[in-house]
Amino acid sequence: MQCEMCGESIRGIPKLIRVEGAELQVCSRCGKFGTEVQQVRRTDIQRTAGRPAQNARAPAAITMPAQRKRDMFDFMEGEIVEDYADRVKKARMEKGLSMKDLALHMMVRELLIKKIEKGELIPEEEVRKKLEKVLGIKLIDVVSADAEKKTQAKITQTLGDLTIIKKSKK
């Protein structure tokens, strides 16, 4: 077996280390360049229970693809508008609330309101809903299927499309 860091053959037991997030099997000399990991690699093929690991001819267990963990964008109904910071600030001023009053009313930190109004932070779903409810504004731009079809219909030709046209004219 070769060291995955220096390429020399490993004498003895290889060390499993983590370097910058990558897990490598290395020799004892290269082991000092990372953090030693005691776990088995996640990328190793998992075998079914009861099947011996020594049997090299036994096929690997069929594993179902892991489900992708849902993130905040999966729960959003549409896309947040580009001028959300201006809308929040304008609505807050029209209601006569200070940033501190709005934060207390929404039960969030004042710093969060400041960052949202400066445009430094896109509000998460829960905060966005609170802002919409308290200020009476909409921060989500729901894109309909018809609007997507209209934008797709207006696609201009690319350079590749022009070269195909020129070839067909010859």
What CATH number is attached to the domain comprising 127? 1.10.260.40
Question: Does residue 50 lie in a domain region?
Answer: no
Range of 5-9, 18-22, 60-64, 91-95 with top mean pLDDT: 91-95
- Contact between 14 and 3 under an 8 Å Cβ cutoff? The reply is yes
Does pTM surpass 0.85?
no
Same domain, 84 and 135: yes
pLDDT at 32: 84
Question: Does residue 157 lie in a domain region?
Answer: no
Q: How confident is the model at residue 94 (pLDDT cuts 50, 70, 90)?
A: very high
Judged by DSSP in three states, 130 sits in: helix
The percent of residues above 70 in pLDDT, for the chain, comes to 63
Higher pLDDT, residue 57 or 87: 87
Question: Range of 34's domain?
Answer: 1-39
Give, for 85, the enclosing helix (H) or strand (E): helix 84-95
pLDDT digits (tens, 9 = 90+) for 154-163: 677 777 776 6
Question: Does residue 13 lie in a domain region?
Answer: yes
- Contact between 88 and 131 under an 8 Å Cβ cutoff? The reply is yes
